[in-house]
Every structure is written in structure tokens, then in C-alpha cells.
Copies of this chain bind each other. A is one copy, B any other.
């Protein structure tokens, strides 16, 4: 056994930070055996020193300035668990790398925005920049893409990777309540980020899918090109309609690669109720990867929480302790492709909902516009209604999103159209 322990500084003592400390203590002998050496905490840092915490941290060396910990000579690895796409996390990681310290982080926002630059820096300094905990909590999807499915040409990676959104959508269905009420409840339960748009606006999922896309496709991380729609405008009626047709609505991260480039999207989609995606409840995450030799594989597990996230952080630390140092995105950073952006390229079916004046010729007009845009109808239903406006549901045959959006815009301008028409992509998993 290497007598040299790996010395780890932990910055940020929220749920995850305390989870990591707890993990390193409780599983010390397992970790030492697997890592081949001890993993020891050399120092800790957080905003407030004297604060009631679930764990006694008084025995650890305290750094009131986190930057000082990233300069500490007695520290081999800096674990950044502050979060946030910019300062102070960015400078901390930068400084740690410049000091030739390995970095482990759970910070998806930072990796999505600055991952390429930081990866170049880590490689230059010949240290690790590991971020298993940044995507899908306890599911080891980062390593799976970097080291297991890595020989495959990956064509698609789909995931439900934000537990809060999945919780809200599930609760809307179970409680038969509108979004605003369930959102409020989730907020009261502490499930929603301080800036709610990160969760319900789809931005958190967008951070994560941009990381997965880069790992899967060997392309340079490109968060700005993730086309992102959140769940804020999902109505209960669409959840119920979906249900009646054998679907559930999930916020999906979708990345795919074709000859025309890489497409990255986050949007609510209809998925078959009976699929692995449709069955997903609460905060559980799922990721599906499609490779040209392996076919389809699925990974399911807890997407957040102290234990699962700490499990991913510790696996990154064990890799470093073992001397398994790899380029952060699984291949030389400067060889990552600058991929073309291709969103409107894929064919999908769509669920459409209109509220139309109930007069002769209305449906014909609607169908005419869809036909003009080359969109053919798979199923159409006019629902029971008491007043003069008729709810009309349509499922299209696969079509290009761009065509659909032009058609929807044209229809929304018609006199006969009484709602802002709803369109939701159908993904047959």
C-alpha cells in the first residue's frame, strides 16, 4: 500500500460537501483498500465557520479564504462544491489547476460555460479535472461515456436529468393540479434552486446535456447552442391528454449527432407511459445512450442528494488516488471537434392542441395549413365541449420541427384559433 495519503481540500460545506466528508469517514477502510492509499482531508473552507452543521467539522483545518486552500502546499486535490457558473468557483478552480492541483467538482454550470478552457488548463498542468457529480447525481454516466462506451460512435444520448422538474410533472399528474400550485409546493419543500429558472426553465438540464454531448460525440462543449424550453407552460390538460393517449410528459435532454452536426435540446416531450422513461418517478434520473456497436443502454439512479452526489465525488477522488489521470473530456481537449449546430434537422411526431371555433370548415382550414407545410396527420380528435370553442388534438406523422413551427405560427394568427396552440414533441423511446 502506498504510504502517501491523497490530501484533499474541500470547498463548500452544503449538503454535498458534508456528504463527502461523511462518506470519507464512514467508508474509510473500503476507500483505502480500493484506492490503494488513504484519502485524507487536508482542509475545508466555506462562507461561515461557526454555523450549526449536521456534522462536526471542527477537527479539520479551516481556511477562511478558499483561495488560500487552493494555494495550500499540503493539498493535492481541491474539491469545489460551491456551485455557480462564475466567481468565486471559476478562479478557485483556475488557481488550483495553475498550482498543479487536481480538481474535482460537481459544478455543471461552470463546466458547461468554462469547461473547455479549464480542460485545456488541466491538461497543460497534467492534472485531473473530474466532474462525475456534475451530471445525474449517483449515476456514473461521465465515466461510462469517457471510458466504457468510448469506442462507439454515439448517435444519441437522451436523459431525464433534473429531478425537480420530474417531481413537479409527476405531482401535477398525481394531484390533478396546475403547474403554479405544484411549483409552489416544491419550492416550499426546498426542491427548487434559488434561481428557479435553473430547474423549471430547463437550464440545469441544458448544462448537463451539453456536458454529456461533448463526452459522447467528442465535440467541444457548446452550451450556447442548447435549444432550451422549460416546463413552466405545461398545462394539466396536456398531461391528461397525453395520459389518455398512453404517454407521459417528461423534461428531456436530447443530444444527437448526424452528418449535419450535433443537435442539443432540452424540452418537455411525450414519452410512452410503458417505457423506462415513462415509468420514471420523482427525483430519479435516467440516461439512454445509443452507440453503433453497443446498441441501447440505460442508466437509472438517484439524480441528486448528499449520498449519491458524494458517491460520484469520491469515485473521482479514487481515480486520482489510483493515478488514473485522463483528459477531462476523454480525449485530447484540443482535438475535440467544433461541431456544426443542427437542431431543426430531426424528424419527430408532435402532439398539437388547438381551441377552435366550432363552425363548419374550421377543421378543413386547419388541416389545409398543416398539409401546406407538408405535415401529415396521424390521429385527430375533437373533444367534447359545452361552449362554442372546440378543443382539437392532433398527433402528426414525423416532421421537421422548423416546418411545424411555421405551421403553428400561421394557425395561431387565424380568426378561428382561440388559444396559443400547443405543440409538444413525441419521443418514442
Task: Give Cα distance in the complex from A77 to B139, angstroms.
Answer: 31
Q: Mark A155-175, 1 if CB is under 8 A from B, else 0.
A: 000000000000000000000
Tell me whether A293 and B19 are in contact (CB under 8 A).
yes
Contact residue among B152, B297, B310 (Cβ-Cβ distance under 8 Å from A299): B297
Contact residue among B148, B300, B305, B317 (Cβ-Cβ distance under 8 Å from A300): B300
Q: Mark A15-38, 1 if CB is under 8 A from B, else 0.
A: 000010001001100110111100
Q: Is A282 an interface residue (CB 8 A)?
A: no
Nearest Cβ in chain B — how far from A300, in angstroms? 4
Tell me whether A315 and B148 are in contact (CB under 8 A).
yes
Tell me whether B27 and A153 are in contact (CB under 8 A).
yes
Task: Give Cα distance in the complex from A153 to B314, angstroms.
Answer: 12
Contact A144-B140, Cβ < 8 Å, known A296-B301, A332-B36: yes
Interface centre among A150, A153, A302 (most CB of B within 10 A): A150
Interface of A is mostly: mixed
Task: Give Cα distance in the complex from A296 to B282, angstroms.
Answer: 14
Among residues of B, the one whose C-beta sits closest to the C-beta of A311 is B294
Task: Give Cα distance in the complex from A295 to B302, angstroms.
Answer: 7
- Among A97-105, A318-326, A421-429, the stretch in contact with B: A318-326
Contacts of A31 in B (CB 8 A): 151
Nearest Cβ in chain B — how far from A289, in angstroms? 9
Contacts of A27 in B (CB 8 A): 151-153, 292-293
Contacts of A297 in B (CB 8 A): 138-140, 299-302
Tell me whether B318 and A293 are in contact (CB under 8 A).
no
Tell me whether A151 and B218 are in contact (CB under 8 A).
no
What's the number of copies of this chain in the assembled complex? Answer: 2
Among residues of B, the one whose C-beta sits closest to the C-beta of A291 is B311
Contacts of A296 in B (CB 8 A): 301-302
Interface residues on A, range: 35 or more
Tell me whether A218 and B34 are in contact (CB under 8 A).
yes
Tell me whether A151 and B308 are in contact (CB under 8 A).
no
Nearest Cβ in chain B — how far from A30, in angstroms? 6
Tell me whether A150 and B34 are in contact (CB under 8 A).
yes
Tell me whether B307 and A153 are in contact (CB under 8 A).
no
Q: Is A331 an interface residue (CB 8 A)?
A: yes
Q: Is A120 an interface residue (CB 8 A)?
A: no
Tell me whether B218 and A33 are in contact (CB under 8 A).
yes
Q: Is A83 an interface residue (CB 8 A)?
A: no
Tell me whether B140 and A148 are in contact (CB under 8 A).
yes
Tell me whether A307 and B335 are in contact (CB under 8 A).
no
Task: Give Cα distance in the complex from A299 to B298, angstroms.
Answer: 6
Contacts of A392 in B (CB 8 A): none
Q: Is A352 an interface residue (CB 8 A)?
A: no
Task: Give Cα distance in the complex from A27 to B150, angstroms.
Answer: 10
Task: Give Cα distance in the complex from A234 to B219, angstroms.
Answer: 50
Contact residue among B26, B149, B324, B331 (Cβ-Cβ distance under 8 Å from A33): B331
Q: Is A76 an interface residue (CB 8 A)?
A: no
Contacts of A139 in B (CB 8 A): 297
Contacts of A1 in B (CB 8 A): 332
Among A191-210, those with CB < 8 Å from B are: none
Tell me whether B34 and A318 are in contact (CB under 8 A).
no
Q: Is A124 an interface residue (CB 8 A)?
A: no
Contacts of A86 in B (CB 8 A): none
Contact A335-B33, Cβ < 8 Å, known A300-B300, A301-B297: yes
Contacts of A293 in B (CB 8 A): 19, 23, 26-27, 138, 307-308, 310-311, 314
Given contacts A27-B153, A291-B311, 6 further A-B contacts (CB under 8 A): A27-B293, A139-B297, A148-B315, A152-B311, A276-B279, A293-B308
Q: List 6 A-B contacts (CB under 8 A).
A: A23-B293, A33-B331, A138-B293, A143-B148, A151-B317, A298-B300
